[in-house]
Every structure is written in C-alpha cells, then in structure tokens.
Structure 1
Amino acid sequence: MKRITLILTLVLFSAVGAFAQLENPVSWAYSAKKISSTEAVVYIKATIEDDWHIYSQNIKAGGPNKTIFTFAPSKDFSLIGKTTEPKPITKYEKVFKMDVLYFENEVVFQQKIKLNKGTTVIKGKVEFMVCNDKQCLPPSEVTFSVPVK
C-alpha cells in the first residue's frame, strides 16, 4: 500500500510540475514598416495576460531581469540607435528594495534600422522575465525573424 501511495504521489508531482512549466503569460508579435527607401522600423509587441508584467530594458542592477533585445549581425542592415520603449509603470518592490519599471497588458518596442539592401529579414532574440504579485517565472528567450519588404 505504501508503495502505491508513493508512486501516485510521484505521478501527481510530475504532472503538476509539467503543467507549471507550460505557463506562458506573454505572447510576442513582430512586424516592420519601411519609412523611406533606406530606413525601416521593426515593431516588437508583447501581449501580456492580466495580472502579469514584464520589465523595462532600463532596470538597474540588483533588480529583476530586464528585457534585452539582441539583433543578429547582417550586411543587409544596421541598427540606428537603441531599441525604444514607451514610458513604463514605476513601482517600488520590497523584494528588490528598489523602484522597478515594468509594462502590463501590452507594450510595443521599436528599433529603427538603416537598410543596405531593399529587402531583408531582421533576425534576433528577446530575453525577458514575467512576474505577477505572487511569483516570477524563470527568464525566457524568444527568437524572431521579421521580413522587411
């Protein structure tokens, strides 16, 4: 009887652990728009489920993981400046003992690029951490590929 109880307990914890890892409260969408024959803007949109938030790119050291964009090098384009973001929400978080900057619901980041070729594909990745008032999920990394026509 003890053996059956032990096996059932292990199966239950395995199922709960697998379900917890499937939680993904942020979805990403990407697009690009040419603003001239030699420039374009890449739009990177995060849609965030209710009660969750992701952090700004401008978080100071000692806080949560900030959102980081990395663009794959290419001869077809070059970055103009840094990835921009709208004004984030600022809130003091006791856990980090500091003000943190974050976004709820949705946020659109923008990266201006100089085109060295008429059409190209912008590839890269976004690293981010998502939290709610009860927990933070481990940092995630998502790759993207955005055609510019």
Structure 2
Amino acid sequence: MQSKPGKLKIAAVLGTIAVWAAGSLQWVQASELSTLFTTPGERQVINSNRYKTEVDTPTGPVEVDESLQPVQLLMQEEITRQYRVSGITLSKDGPHTVWINTQAYEDGDRLEDKSKIKVLVGNEIKVRITTPDGKQHYATSGETLEVTYLATVEN
C-alpha cells in the first residue's frame, strides 16, 4: 500500500494535467458546430476548387512557329471494287489459300487496295473481306462481290 505522500504526488500530477487540459480546450457552443455532411451544392463547390488546373489561367502569349508546314487536307473518295472468289483451299499444315480475281492469297494477306482477307471455316467455308473503312463482306467460292467503300486520298 502506498504512503500518504505518494498519493499526494499522484494527486498533484493528476491535478496539474487536469488544469492544463481544461485550459487548452476551447468550449464551442452547439450552434457553432456544423454537420459532417454537405449539400450537393457545397460538394460541387468543394470539388470544383479541388480539381482546378493551371490550364484555366493563361500563362502568356502563344508563340507560333513560322517553319511549320500548313496542314494537308485529306479527302475521302468512294471506291467500288469487284471481288470474284474462284476457290478456297483449306490446309492442315499451313495457312489456307483463297483465289480472288485469279490471284492466290494466303489467309490474313492484304489485297492491292489494302483490304484484308480471312478464311472462315465452319458449317460453310467463307472468305471475309474487310475493306479499308472497316466494313466486312462475306463470300463463298464461286461468288462475286461488288463492294463500295470510302478511301482517304491526299488532296
């Protein structure tokens, strides 16, 4: 059991801490407290201030480089082509072969106009021709396709 002087020391230390803590705390009236949550309008103001970039403020005059060449305009031209699929050969060892307009092409090759071919094997063996504008056309052996697409040409 502690002696009376030991209890007095503890009481003195606790009293000092209590006085110090009470002096450092500021009492706030309940009316001065606000809620943790914000309204949608307040949230929008907070977010707009938070995510501001320096792009909003002009940095100075913009210098134009006179050595730059003028931009060349690209035009699109409508192109019509006929593709006659005269045969398709399937291979177990290598790529499949397709005869289009009497020319032999391997699976995945590109035609002269940059159209890409793909042999599709399934219930019906077909050739998919993807034109430069991204459109896909399908044909089987013996069919002729007439394809129209837009191609970019330099002006």
The two structures have a TM-score, normalised by structure 1, of: 0.25
- Structure with greater helix share of residues: 2
- Structure with greater strand share of residues: 1
The two structures have a TM-score, normalised by structure 2, of: 0.24
